[in-house]
Amino acid sequence: MLKHMNDNDCHAVGFFTYDAFITAAKSFPSFGNTGDLAMRKKEIAAFFGQTSHETTGGWSGAPDGANTWGYCYKEEIDKSDPHCDSNNLEWPCAPGKFYYGRGPMMLSWNYNYGPCGRDLGLELLKNPDVASSDPVIAFKTAIWFWMTPQAPKPSCNDVITDKWEPSAADISAGRLPGYGVITNIINGGLECAGRDVAKVQDRISFYTRYCGMFGVDPGSNIDCDNQRPFNEGSNVFLDAAI
């Protein structure tokens, strides 16, 4: 699956390991354990599809294809932006700390580090670097994001295991069950509604490759090109919005 993750061209050589992933996953009993075998495989394919894109070191014309270069990075390349929402008083930024993307899901912003740390029993606001220095914690942050609904968004787990039922507002916004809604959950404001089709397709490319390896159907509604992001209400999608 992750054919080039330990190539010298990758920045996370030796960091992400199978044992770290399994250890982290044990903290989330429902992760990869819901439904029949096909559904469980589909969830793992979807999780690695999204996280492979987030950590990709691939490029157009990369050896073996761009979708074989997942898990090359363990943190965001550009670290100049502190990703601190100073208006969020519930999860205030610690002095001098930056909350740029770290770990397989590239957990970002203080309002994600705060509740993630709370739920994992970690002081991630005070020590965000642990999310890219400890591989087990890195995977835990990614799986936490995957498993945790943040209203009005459902959890990625509920979507891929067919637990989520779209509301009337979701339906009018084009958000129907499928892998595309997971992309919308993760980065809909920047990629969905036709805003960055190339990145959406990259996420799909990883996912469908893994589904093929696992012998499972990727399902329908795998892109989010005609979906409004969750933070933009429920107005009917218009082509003019692209």
For residue 85, the domain's CATH number is 3.30.20.10
Query: Percent of the chain at pLDDT above 70?
Result: 96
Domain boundary among 134, 162, 181: 134
Cβ neighbours of residue 233 closer than 8 Å, sequence gap 6 or more: 169, 173
Q: Is residue 97 part of a domain?
A: yes
The CA–CA distances, whole Å, from 240 to 123, 187, 194 equal 44, 21, 10
* Burial group, residue 74, by CB count within 10 angstroms (0-12, 13-18, 19+): buried
Residue scoring higher pLDDT (231 or 188): 188
228 with 110, same domain: the answer is no
Is 90 noted as a catalytic residue in this protein?
Answer: no
pLDDT tier at 204, thresholds 50, 70, 90:
very high
pTM summary value: 0.95
Rounded to the nearest angstrom, the gap between the alpha carbon of residue 219 and the centroid of all alpha carbons in its chain is 18
Q: 144 in a domain, yes or no?
A: no
User: What range does the domain containing 83 cover?
Assistant: 75-134
Q: Which of 88, 107, 134 is the last residue of a domain?
A: 134
What is the reported pLDDT for 50?
A: 98
Residues 88, 205: one domain? no
Domain identity same for 170 and 228: yes
Residues 163-175: tens digit of each pLDDT: 999 999 999 999 9
Domain identity same for 162 and 177: yes
Q: Are residues 115 and 201 in the same domain?
A: no
13 located within any domain: no
User: Does residue 63 share a domain with residue 155?
Assistant: yes
pLDDT per residue as tens digits for the range 135-161: 999 999 999 999 999 999 999 999 999
Mean pLDDT of the chain: 95
Position 33 scores a pLDDT of 97
Give the model confidence (pLDDT) of 15-53 as tens digits: 999 999 999 999 999 999 999 999 999 999 999 999 999
Q: Give Cβ neighbours of residue 234 (< 8 Å, ≥ 6 apart).
A: 168, 169, 170, 172, 173, 228
Answer whether residue 219 shows pLDDT above 80: yes
The three-state DSSP-derived secondary structure of the chain is CCCCCCCCCCCCCCCCCHHHHHHHHCCCCCCCCCCCHHHHHHHHHHHHHHHHHHCCCCCCCCCCCHHHCCCCCCECCCCCCCCCCCCCCCCCCCCCCCCCCECCCCECCHHHHHHHHHHHCCCCCCCHHHHHCCHHHHHHHHHHHHHCCECCECCHHHHHCCCCCCCHHHHHCCCCCCHHHHHHHHHHHHHCCCCCHHHHHHHHHHHHHHHHHHCCCCCCCCCCCCCCCHHHCCCCCCHHHC
Q: Is residue 22 part of a domain?
A: yes
Given a cut of 60, whether residue 220 has pLDDT beyond it is yes
Q: Do 42 and 159 belong together in one domain?
A: yes
For residue 204, the domain's CATH number is 1.10.530.10
User: What number of other Cβ atoms are within 10 A of residue 53's Cβ?
Assistant: 25
Look at the chain and report how many structural domains it folds into: 2
Same domain, yes or no: 99 and 82: yes
Percentage of residues in the chain with pLDDT exceeding 90?
95
Average pLDDT in the 202-222 region?
A: 98
Q: What is the rounded CA–CA span in Å between residue 31 and residue 29?
A: 6
In a domain, 218, yes or no: yes
169 lies in the same domain as 237: yes
Query: In terms of domains, do 158 and 226 share one?
Result: yes
On whether both 79 and 69 belong to a single domain, the answer is no
C-alpha 125/C-alpha 115 separation (Å) is 9
Binning pLDDT at 50, 70 and 90, where does residue 237 land?
very low
155 part of a folded domain: yes
Query: Could you report the per-residue pLDDT of 71-102, keeping only the tens digit for each?
Result: 999 999 999 999 999 999 999 999 999 999 99
* Active-site option among 43, 54, 76, 191: 54
Is 215 inside any structural domain? yes
pLDDT at 209 > cutoff 70: yes
Say whether both 89 and 157 belong to one domain. Answer: no
CA distance linking residue 226 with residue 4, whole number of Å: 33
CA distance 124 to 88: 16
CA distances from 192 to 130, 167, 184 (A): 31, 18, 6
- Residue 231: the pLDDT is 86
